[in-house]
Chains A and B, each alone.
Chain A
Amino acid sequence: MLKILKYSFYDLIRSRWSYIYLLFYLLLGIVLLFLNSDIGKAIITLMNVIIVLVPLISTIFGVMYYYDSREFTELLLALPLKRSTIFFGQYLGVALSLSMSLIIGLGIPFLFYGLLASGVIINFLLLIVTGVFLTFIFSAFSYCIGLKNENKIKGFGYSILLWLFLAIIYDGVLLTVLIVFGEYPLENITLIGTILNPIDLSRILILLRLDISALLGYTGAVFKSFFGNGVGSIISFFILLLWVVFPLFLLRKFAKRKDF
């Protein structure tokens, strides 16, 4: 598996898309810091970017790479290797190279801007860690989609739909539910609702640091115990980890059943 990982990783690092991705983050970081004199504000903007763009790019890139390396995959399948080894290796290659672009692309401009001296370093690290988590989750999903769909157009369609659903539609539905059933106690449902969406979950994780003062304005006891002490962050991280494992489990299952 390590060999396949290494191969995929180097292959991706040499590919144009990785550079474009890296360049995009580099530019984004520079522009953000150039336009905002305030590093704290830059981090809030960055949060929106990470929560919205990282899943989108990870899914699209993952699906793309899956279809791109199909011939190589078929070659590997002819060798006496376990299927899960092949796909996990490739997946890890994609996820790692994407994470690296993210870390380097955003890290460099912020470092130059004096991140270490400012008090927001923890916020920044949290953003990067969540970004990496989201990359791992969504590239795994994209691999699942790729395995399930021979048709490239369908595959791309599904991955965009997945992103659209989790990033936007899900919150719309959740908000509608909250408004419509406003007269019932909704705290638990809201929390469960957010946990069931990795994008929302990472958003909460960041909110717990950036907007804790607003979150504590809500009176409910369940929220209070969730937000109030470190419990919320720990639970969120744990569930985010589960979210990484879950699509991998699917990936294994799909890879086993797939008829090439």
Chain B
Amino acid sequence: MRSLYVRYFLFLLVTLSCSVSGFAKKIQVCHDCSIISIKQAIQQAEEGDTIVVKQGTYYENEILIDKSLTLLSEDASVDGQDKGEIFIVKADDVTIDGFTIVNVGTSYIKDFAAIRIRESKNFAVRNNIIRNLFFGIYLEKSKDGIVENNKIYGKAKNEFNSGNGIQLWYSNNVIIKSNYVEKVRDGIYLEFSNYCQIEDNVSQYNVRYGLHFMFSNHDVVKNCKYIHNGAGVAIMFSKYMTMTDNLFEDNWGSAAYGVLLKEVNDTEINYNTFKGNTTAINIEGSNRVTYLHNDFIGNGWAINSNGANYHNIVNYNNFSNNSFDLVYRGPLNHNNFDSNYWSGYTGYDLNKDGIGDVPYRPIKLFSYIVNKTPESIILLRSLFIDIIDFSEKVSPIFTPDNLVDNTPITKYIKHDKDR
């Protein structure tokens, strides 16, 4: 009788424990545990399990995650010993959270990444710190995921032997939020990736671009900071993009831009701040782009329009103390430069409606001279240059005479920041 009870009890225990493990098991990895490597833990885990990696350094690479797992780290760091990729995800619903990942190998044939997510859905990469990397987080044909709060510290010096911080390739609907990337080739790079949201990221001291789009449409960039990059944001061959409330600062150099647009159509660039960049916006072959309520403060060149740009709208922006407000090539092509504030405006406003009574010509003759003989930049703000600029303003010969702001705003425009 008694043995029957025991048997019954045991049966209950077994079924219970089975059902629990079927639900979600927690596997611990640490140096003194029965499982001492992440790979081993993944092998033993089943779909939906959580692997908790305890404090310590784990020398592992090519960690393949082919089940839906949650990997949590408690101060664990993974050292790839420069041998190649570290985490490779090939399953849906995978979370990688809180790891310090160091020493990704460098290869000129393969793009080794600290975390690679391949053909997966609903992934989350959070709170990781990646150092000494080739590529940081590489999303490949994946979608509906989030990359959040990661910090990536590269040491890139040249473009040709460095990788990107966060790279998306054919990955749609990804949220990239609150990440910090420094000193890599491109901070964040999107190729063929649509409907992505890029928010609150900081990208600085990157060798090439802070954020780079290629053939990507319908992406949103919001509240990001791009400081001291080769170019803040480069958008190429893309459509229907939105960029708002970003800061572009001190992107210095002979080919350094706040924003570089090449063949970009139907895009909105509003409420951004451009401060102290060599060129704030460089535009080439871009149509129907609107630039509203941006601040251009103390840049070398605020807008450099390189031709083949049609139907662009530049309204309600502040152009304050830039060395050159506008450089323009070719005919006007239905581009509109009305209703901006120009700190160089010297006209008057008799009826006091805040709109200057005399149209403003934002193009200086000297910008043409600098374009032809770059050394002459050293004569910037010289009295002689002011005199020739003035005479050109009075009777334009070299600059397109229909490129004017017909309704220049006389006071610095206060944008509605909490709209």
Contacts and interface: CB of A to CB of B under 8 A. Distances in A.
Question: Do A and B assemble together?
Answer: yes
Interface of A: 37-38, 40-41, 44, 47-48, 51-52, 167-169, 171-172, 174-175, 178-179, 182, 186-187, 190-191, 194, 200, 203-204, 206-207, 210-220, 223-224
B374 A48 contact: no
Interface string B307-323: 00000000000001101
A127 to B, nearest CB: 12
A187 B375 contact: yes
Interface in B284-342: 298-301, 320-321, 323-324
A216 B252 contact: yes
A168 B379 CA distance: 11
A45 to B, nearest CB: 10
Interface stretch (B66-74, B148-156, B179-187, B275-283): B275-283
B375 A190 contact: yes
Given A41-B343, A44-B321, A213-B300, A218 B377 contact: yes
B273 to A, nearest CB: 14
A224 B374 CA distance: 13
B385 interface: yes
A179 B373 contact: yes
Main secondary structure of the interface of B (DSSP, over half): loop
Q: 5 closest Cβ contacts across the A-B interface?
A: A214-B300, A214-B323, A171-B384, A219-B254, A213-B300
A122 B384 CA distance: 26
10 contacts: A51-B383, A168-B387, A190-B378, A207-B378, A212-B252, A212-B276, A213-B250, A213-B323, A217-B301, A218-B254
A40 B383 CA distance: 19
Nearest to B275: A213
Contacts of B16: none
B375 A218 contact: yes
Interface of B: 250, 252-254, 256, 276-279, 298-301, 320-321, 323-324, 343, 369, 372-387, 411-412
Contacts, number: 119
A44 B386 CA distance: 13
A216 B372 CA distance: 16
A220 B374 contact: yes
A220 B118 CA distance: 44
A190 B379 CA distance: 9
Contacts of A47: 381
A207 B46 CA distance: 65
Contacts of B298: 40, 210, 213
Contacts of A37: 411-412
A51 B383 CA distance: 9
B160 to A, nearest CB: 19
A169 B378 CA distance: 15
A214 B278 contact: yes
Contact of A217 (B254, B321, B369): B254
A178 B299 CA distance: 25
Contacts of B372: 179, 182
Contacts of A171: 379, 382-385
A41 B279 contact: no
A194 B378 contact: yes
Contacts of B376: 175, 178-179, 190
Nearest to B376: A178
Contact of A38 (B250, B253, B343): B343
Given A171-B382, A182-B373, 12 more contacts: A37-B412, A168-B384, A168-B387, A190-B378, A191-B378, A200-B379, A203-B381, A204-B378, A211-B300, A211-B381, A213-B252, A213-B276
